[in-house]
Amino acid sequence: MAGWGLNLGVSDSKVYNLCHCKLFKKTYFGLCVSVLDEENSLHVVVNCGEALLKNNTYWPLVSDFINILSHQSVAKRFLEDHGLLVTWMNFVSFFQGMNLNKRELNEHVEFESQTYYAAFAAELEACAQPMWGLLSHCKVRETQEYTRNVVRYCLEALQDWFDAINFVDEPAPNQVTFHLPLHRYYAMFLSKAVKCQELDLDSVLPDQEMLMKLMIHPLQIQASLAEIHSNMWVRNGLQIKGQAMTYVQSHFCNSMIDPDIYLLQVCASRLDPDYFISSVFERFKVVDLLTMASQHQNTVLDAEHERSMLEGALTFLVILLSLRLHLGMSDDEILRAEMVAQLCMNDRTHSSLLDLIPENPNPKSGIIPGSYSFESVLSAVADFKAPVFEPGGSMQQGMYTPKGMFIYIDSLQYQFF
């Protein structure tokens, strides 16, 4: 029953006990797990091919848990309970690195698994939604200790994960997972600490060695996106393109690529610049292109992929410098930027804008499709062209088009319309 957490007549202690019960069941509710890499890893992840995940049968339990966390008093006790936070991070770690993809180098994959969407849905619903629920209670300076607790145990869980997969400083070649919920928990609580709780960034950062480790896997995803777009993963079939598209899709980006980019921005600002830039070009396999020699020999990249991978690396650096979603932008500014970006490409119907613009994961922000803020921002940047009847009798839908004299300026990208 998905409404338990909304019954305001239940006492705090009963709700908290229910939270304990739910989390215990959630951790051991029969997740079918598999070894990430049987040869070199002790890490265990959920099996996305099992009916439990494929059929979303976990959703009633997840929904109850999210509703329970909507109570501020319960969330407060949850964030104060160190044992409960350890249990929760252990649970989230089951989703860390799931649905691992290995690039096919010789023959086309015989069977294209379609379980990837179950993996994205599971991370969004079982990991990200509770995260946003907890973040909604960490908005003022008085809640600094909650964020410190989460950051502490998240970093401990990440170190356990690095140990389990025998990670030192280089990821396994030709492999990528789009699922790093522990990294994203850390990134979002880091953002909340700086933006809302007046915490100094350096006070919640680990040492340089750990920061280098935190950078590698999100960076591997960005490089793999460029590889996929360059058709270097073509032997893996269409499903790998589906994963790349879902990762940046409007319903998932707030909980996936946006936290990853923010974490990489933090790493870029605190690590040695030469080390960071070198790591980017190495991960994108374009170091051999950046030479003053008249000729070069790239031992890891075919000539046909060199240009697109170099473009991918440079585009990634531009994104790092220009994207400010978690670097001081307000909710209204984010919505305005998203709307401008969509209208720059094409005139849009109202329904298509609702579908294309990411929904703010904070339920208390007021910035949701169809809300007053959404409509006011839309009226400020666009004009509505009324529906018109065509000669054949059919009617063309009404469209929103950019205002004629409107100029939107971003730090590195100019969009005139």
**For the CA atoms of the chain, what is the radius of gyration?**
23
The confidence score (pLDDT) of residue 153 equals 98
For residue 21, the Cα-to-chain-centroid distance in whole angstroms is 28
pLDDT digit string, tens, across residues 44-53: 888 888 888 8
Q: Find all residues with CB under 8 Å of 165, minimum gap 6, and list them.
A: 36, 37, 40, 41, 42, 43, 97
Q: Is 203 helix (H, G, I), strand (E, B) or coil?
A: helix
Domain boundaries, the chain: 4-223+238-261, 331-416
pLDDT digit string, tens, across residues 8-29: 444 555 555 555 555 545 544 4
Q: How confident is the model at residue 166 (pLDDT cuts 50, 70, 90)?
A: very high
The confidence score (pLDDT) of residue 2 equals 41
Query: Is the confidence at residue 351, as pLDDT, over 80?
Result: yes
Q: Residue 97: exposed, middle, or buried by beta-carbon count in 10 A (0-12, 13-18, 19+)?
A: buried
Closest CA to 185 of 125, 99, 127, 267: 127
The confidence score (pLDDT) of residue 372 equals 64
The residue-averaged pLDDT of 229-244 equals 94
CB 196 within 8 A of CB 139: yes
Q: Find all residues with CB under 8 Å of 35, minimum gap 6, and list them.
A: 41, 42, 43, 44, 45
The confidence score (pLDDT) of residue 229 equals 96
Q: How confident is the model at residue 297 (pLDDT cuts 50, 70, 90)?
A: confident
> What does the alpha-carbon distance between residue 90 and residue 156 come to, in Å, rounded to a whole number?
10
pLDDT digit string, tens, across residues 74-124: 999 999 999 999 999 999 999 999 999 999 988 888 788 888 999 999 999
Least confident of 194-198, 319-323, 401-405: 401-405
Q: Tokens for 260? A: 């990853």
Average predicted confidence (pLDDT) for the chain? 84
Q: How confident is the model at residue 225 (pLDDT cuts 50, 70, 90)?
A: very high
Q: Is 258 helix (H, G, I), strand (E, B) or coil?
A: helix
